Structures are given as C-alpha cells and as structure tokens.
Amino acid sequence: MTPHLADTPVLETDRLVLRAPGAQDWPGFNAMMASERSRFIRPGDLDEGQIWRSFGHVIGHWVMRGWGLFTITARGDDTALGMAGPWFPAGWPEPEIGWSLWQPDAEGKGYAFEAATATRGFAYDVLEWDSAVSYIAPDNTRSIALAERLGARPDPAAAYPGDTPCVVYRHPAPDSLADGGMEAYA
Amino acid sequence: MTALSIPVLKTRRLVLRGPEPEDYPDFKATFTSYRARFMGGPLNAYESWMLYAAEIGHWAIRGFGMWMIHDRQTDETYGMAGGWKPAKWPEAEIAWVIWPSAAGNGIALEATHAARDHFYRHCGWQTAVSYIDPKNLDSIRLAERLGAKKDHDAPSIDGNDAVYRHPTPAQLSGTQLAHGIEMEIGHYADPLFKPKGWALD
C-alpha cells in the first residue's frame, strides 16, 4: 500500500471540499510555482527540484505539526484549485492562515475567502488557536483585499518571517467572530 | 493524529521507521553542520526543516522514501537510509546519511542493505543508483562495499556527481556478493569479530 496522509480532516463549505494535499496535486502546484502567480509567496525563481521539495514539505508539514494546508477543490471535482489553511514551518514567528489559488479561472468567485474562512474556523475551533496572522507581500493587493475582507488588520508590531519585509495581517480573535467560523463547514 | 503508513524494517541491530517529528532535532544537527557538505548543506534552520518535512512528503508522493535508522534496543537515531527520487533525479536512488557520532560501526551498510533488499523484494525495483559527490570518499567506499560500481554511461543529476549502479536483485540473491555483505555486517554487529582499520560508515 502506498503511504498517504491518514486521519486528516475534510472540511466542506457550500461550494468547496477542503482535503489534505496528496501526490495528485503536484502538477497544479508545480505549474503555479513556476509561473508569475507565485511571485508573492516564493523567495525568487525556483527550479523544479526546489518546487518539488517545497511541495513535499507542504505534505510533510501535516506529519510534523499534525495539521497543515488544505487542498481546495470544488464539490464533485477533486482537481486542486489552490491551497488554504494553517501553516507554521520553521522560521515563522507565529502560526499563519495562508492561501493560494493556482489558476486565473479560479479567481473572482470568492473561493479563497470561503476556504480561508473555513480553515481559520478549523484553526480556532479544532486546533484551539487563540490568534492567527497572515504574512502578505506589500504589493500583493489581491491578498491584502482578501485579508481585509476576512476582518484582518495590519499589526505593525508583529514579527515577520525572514528578511524580506511583509505586512503582518492579524485576524480577528476567535471570540470576536460572531459565528466562530465552525458553522462554515459543520 | 496525522500519519503516513510507512513500513518498518528490522535488522540485527536496527529498526528503520518513517521520519517522525520527535527525530527532527537529530536530523537538524547533522544537516546544519559541515557533515552535510556533500548533501547540499550545510542548511540553515528553515531549509533543514523544509527538507525534513519534504523527506516525509516524499513517501506520500513516491510511495517510498527515506527511513530513520534507530537502535533496536535503545531507539536512539543514527541516521537515515532508503530511496530518494525528487524531481529532476534521473533514476530512483538508494541514499544514506549517518550522524557523525554514530560513524564507524557499519550502521549505514546494515541499514542500506536492508532498504535495498526491501525495494528489490517488495517494490519491484530492478535496479538502483546512488549519486555521490566524487569527494565523498566514505560514501564511495560504502557504495563499493554494497557491490555498486561506477556507471559512466548513466545520467547524473547535474554533472557534479558520480553515478554508482547497484547490483541487480539476481546479483544479490544467494550470491557470494550477498554473503560477503552479510558477513561484513555480522562482523560489525559482533564485537568479537569487528574488523579493524576501515569502518568508515
């Protein structure tokens, strides 16, 4: 039997199924990371070997932390549209809610908002986080707009990973979210 | 608890298990040190964590990967051995790394022999290579003790590594080569017969 991530949660929203990442997500991840779409979430140009290692560590993060990024899929179609969820590799000052959409045609539909809301609810309600941030490049206007829509606000006092300055968006605390987020996938 | 169902291999002195979160500090100590100079290192703390997580992810992506080598009695870790085929690798590789403190006891030989045997018997591998930095004499010596020979015609990863071709499953089935490897492992395992002078792994 091929080893695979077992006992991982599946989150369901109105339109999406969020599941643990697997080998089947590699082509979409590779295409996204090799394209300009990833310019805000990578340190520079990456060769395929580096992208592969990055993909492997997205999966391994689940074993290291017990949780990680979920693959975003539309109901009825297992194709990866992107990833969203809790993210805390070495070097991160605090746990993050991250997101990415991998193809232009997945944009503009509110998928990232739906996925980020559901995974933030998971982080608060199941993982019992009492705070969450998103690290966003200053010129990544679309992600900044999404962070604002999620109720997050810049936290100038918070540390960011690495040496390249980014904006730290602080999400509303769990008790200040009216629905707690849990209902989004209950 | 999130987990991968990675097979467990047992040898005379060792247990090989999938990489676990609690073993990470041991991995980090070696991969952020000069010891890692032939394996793309030394790495910084972030790169080291990323590589370790990727070693785990490799199992999910390829169906095989690198095991953590533990002492069968104490569970102490000694290094890693197994299969490795990230993007851009021409072929599946048999790879190993031993923590500096564990070197000199034939552990890499014992672990790698078991890993190769597993891939040949249970995973259908018909051949395997090891990509080795030409300056990494300890690893070249180990490849040779495992019966591997330099393959001048096989593509390397990036031109900076030598390709060692492992013996085929048939060449390791009841042959003098196989008996020799097992005899050497037996000698390391039994202090009475420990060979002197050339235990590098």
Q: Helices B45-62 & A48-65, crossing angle to 10 degrees?
A: 90
Q: Does A98 have pLDDT greater than 60?
A: yes
Report the share of chain A in percent with pLDDT over 90.
Answer: 80
Task: Answer whether residue A1 is part of any domain.
Answer: no
Q: Does A182 have pLDDT greater than 70?
A: no
Task: Answer whether residue A58 is part of any domain.
Answer: yes
- Exposure string (b/e) for B157-188, b if CB count within 10 Å is 16 or more? eeeebbbbbbbebeebeeeeebeebeebbeeb
Q: Helices A48-65 & A26-33, crossing angle to 10 degrees?
A: 120
Residue A9's closest chain B neighbor by CA? B2
State the pLDDT at residue A184.
47
- Whether B30 and B66 have beta carbons less than 8 Å apart is answered as no
Residue B89's closest chain A neighbor by CA? A49
Residues of B in contact with A22 (CB under 8 A): 60
Question: How many CB atoms sit inside 10 A of residue B193's CB?
Answer: 11
Task: Answer whether residue A81 is part of any domain.
Answer: yes
Instruction: Between B195 and A67, name the one with better pLDDT.
Output: A67
Residues of B in contact with A5 (CB under 8 A): 2-4, 60
Q: Does A181 have pLDDT greater than 80?
A: no
Task: Answer whether residue A6 is part of any domain.
Answer: no
Q: What is the pLDDT of residues A109-149, one digit of tens each?
A: 999 999 999 999 999 999 999 999 999 999 999 999 999 99
A135, β-bridge pairs: A168
Q: Which of B88, B185, B194, B83 is nearest to B142 (CA)?
A: B185
- Extract the residue ranges of chain B whose pLDDT is less than 70: 1, 191, 193-201
Please check whether residue B55 touches A, CB under 8 A.
yes
Residue B8's closest chain A neighbor by CA? A3
How many helices (H) and strands (E) are present in chain B, helices listed first? Answer: 5, 9
Residues of A in contact with B65 (CB under 8 A): 3
Please report, for the domain that includes residue A102, its CATH number. 3.40.630.30
Q: Which domain holds residue A32?
A: 11-184
Contact B50 A4 (CB under 8 A): no
Task: Please enumerate, as own/partner, the contacts of B189-193 that have beta carbons within 8 Å and a separation of 24 or more.
Answer: B189/B12, B189/B13, B189/B106, B189/B110
Domains of chain B, first to last? 9-190 (3.40.630.30)
Mean pLDDT estimate for chain A: 92
State the pLDDT at residue B195.
60
Task: Answer whether residue A73 is part of any domain.
Answer: yes
List the single residue in B5, B20, B61 with the smallest CB-CB distance to A59.
B61
Please check whether residue B57 touches A, CB under 8 A.
yes
- pLDDT-derived band at A185 (thresholds 50, 70, 90) equals very low
Task: Answer whether residue A38 is part of any domain.
Answer: yes
How many structural domains does chain A have? 1
Instruction: Between A19 and A165, name the one with better pLDDT.
Output: A19
Collapsing DSSP to helix, strand or coil, B27 comes out as helix
Q: How many angstroms separate the Cα of B36 from the Cα of each of A118, B39, B129, B151?
A: 41, 5, 20, 24
Task: Answer whether residue A4 is part of any domain.
Answer: no
Task: Answer whether residue A2 is part of any domain.
Answer: no
Q: What is the pLDDT of residues B139-198, one digit of tens each?
A: 999 999 999 999 999 999 999 999 999 999 999 999 999 999 999 999 888 867 666 555
- pLDDT-derived band at A6 (thresholds 50, 70, 90) equals confident
Dist. CA B163–CA B150, nearest whole Å: 6
State the pLDDT at residue A183.
46
Please check whether residue A44 touches B, CB under 8 A.
no
